[in-house]
Amino acid sequence: MEQKLGQLKTILAEIADLSGAAALLGWDQQTYMPPGGAEARGNQLGTLQRLAHERQTSPELGKLLEDLKPLTATLDPDSDEARLVKVGARDYEKATRVPSEWVVEFAQVTTMAQQAWMDARSKSDFSIFLPHLEKIVGLAHRYVSFFPQADHPYDILLDNFEPRMKTADVKVIFDALRPKQVELIKAIAQQPQVDDAFLHQDFDDKKQWDFGVGVITKFGYDWNCGRQDKAAHPFTTGFSNRDVRITTRVAPNFLNSMLFGTMHECGHALYGLGSPDALERTTLDGGASLAVHESQSRMWENLVGRSLPFWEHFYPRLQETFPSQLSNVPLDKFYKGINKVQPSLIRVEADEATYNLHIMLRLEIEIALMEGKLAVKNLPEVWNAKMQEYLGVTPPNDARGVLQDIHWSGGIIGYFSTYALGNLVSAQLWEKINEDIPNLSAQIREGKFDTLLGWLREKIHRHGRKFEPQELVQKVTGSKIDAAPYLRYLSQKFGQIYGL
């Protein structure tokens, strides 16, 4: 068994290295590559991805996994080795179902679609994107057809982001969430609005940047194993557990973009940096799922970064950094301002109370597309109607409506719900963390985050991708993904801010 495990790890290490190299090219593309490099970069990425895919689907790998299954059956099912074979076999089984013609066509269609989407968005003209999105939805239907029939066709797509999560599970969770969130937003709307005008002033770029760096250094972001650069759409990417990089954007007239974006990406990076050495260069390095990843980023961004104890520590420093803008704004006003609830058009700018509704709308649309109950050409109309129904706002144009997100143009369907699930998991973990670390608020008030990070390392990060998301959440909190803690968090926090 040892020998075969060694062989397996050798192949997996090669795949990991190819993927890491591709990720580095991707990072460069979004940060420093001059525009003229795009075409050659596309070729380079294509070659690396093809090589990785060939290895991921090689008969040699399949044979090894098959041979190892009975051998590892005697091991502790939660051991690294048993999980390596289990997760590896699942990945292999999924990768080999998809014919390479589909992979090639998908790459071609989505490359064109992303160009068309950018054009459509800049002109606010959905018709430019329509034929491309129709092809993408067609490809998604074909992708589903490669797999044995599931309870719901959408399950196959969701599984790529949340292993073994079912559409029906997500519906149950969201059904519990939706009415309560709508009710809360309506109650808030009846109250006097908080003032956040002070956030929209002129804030020096470099000073903002440095402040953000100071915050995430205190969070525990290790600059020896990371770096921060600017990007139009902030993201985190890692090439090993010793090199996880973040990006941020700085808006000169709005403090929130840099502040919360930086903390968010740092949360993702801390997860990647906490992946254990023993799982490096295997299929088990990195994170459990996108929802679990998002639970980490949202925790540092919101449960920590938008909390009062956090600002009791950092606000005097922020005032020192921006005296002319903030010296007359008391802490309480600042805290309420950064937590202002207002239904709005754009998902990525949404506050904590309204965010999940943006997700539910997208999920419903994606499910309807996969059920064949919604034609792509009717998307703008359905989008606008749902925005009005859930948030009480109607986009003035498609750029600020159905065309706002990049995901569909990249062929990514099944992803959106992980954002909302991540919010829920962050609050679930937070309740548990506060039980385990009773003086956490006092620690945060002193700018101390090491106990919190240690908890996350121990309970979440060190498991890498060994456990499925529901399994991991159950292990740590005692229950599966559940909307109740997030609802408790929202009503407690916003009840206080809005005097409900």
Tell me which residues touch Co ion (CB under 5 A). Answer: 297
Shortest Å, Cβ 299 to Co ion: 11
* Tokens read off for 368: 């309807």
- Residue 198 DSSP class: G
Nearer to Co ion, 132 or 298 (CB): 298
* Tokens read off for 214: 């100071």
Q: What are phi and psi of 377, to 5 degrees?
A: -65, -20
Nearer to Co ion, 186 or 233 (CB): 233
Note if 265 is an active site residue.
Answer: yes
Please spell the DSSP secondary structure of 101-127, one letter per residue: HHHHHHHHHHHHHHHHHHHHHHHT-HH
**Closest-approach residue to Co ion (CB):** 297
Shortest Å, Cβ 236 to Co ion: 7
Contacts of 4 (CB under 8 A, 6+ apart): 64, 67, 68, 71
Shortest Å, Cβ 107 to Co ion: 24
Nearer to Co ion, 185 or 292 (CB): 292
Shortest Å, Cβ 142 to Co ion: 29
Contacts of 68 (CB under 8 A, 6+ apart): 1, 4, 5, 8, 85
Please spell the DSSP secondary structure of 392-423, one letter per residue: S---SSSTTTTTS-SGGGGT--S-THHHHHHH
Shortest Å, Cβ 294 to Co ion: 5
Amino acid letter, 318: L
Conformation bin of residue 143: beta by default, left when phi > 0, alpha when psi is -120 to 50 = alpha
Residue 133's closest CA among 389, 297, 366, 319? 366
* Tokens read off for 203: 């804030």
3-state DSSP assignment of residue 241:
coil
Nearer to Co ion, 272 or 395 (CB): 272
| Rounded CA separation 214/212 (Å) | 5
Contacts of 478 (CB under 8 A, 6+ apart): 432
Shortest Å, Cβ 375 to Co ion: 31
H runs (alpha helix) in 98-204: 100-123, 126-145, 153-158, 167-189
Query: Which member of 265, 294, 366, 468 is catalytic?
Result: 265
Name the E strands within 280-346: none
Shortest Å, Cβ 121 to Co ion: 21
| Rounded CA separation 249/424 (Å) | 26
Q: Are 23 and 237 in contact (CB under 8 A)?
A: yes
Residue 282's closest CA among 65, 75, 29? 65
Contacts of 18 (CB under 8 A, 6+ apart): 48, 49, 51, 52, 55
| Rounded CA separation 402/341 (Å) | 22
Q: Are 225 and 242 in contact (CB under 8 A)?
A: yes
Please spell the DSSP secondary structure of 42-85, one letter per residue: HHHHHHHHHHHHHHHT-HHHHHHHHHHHHHHTTS-TTSHHHHHH
Nearer to Co ion, 40 or 348 (CB): 348
Nearer to Co ion, 236 or 477 (CB): 236
- Active-site residue list: 265
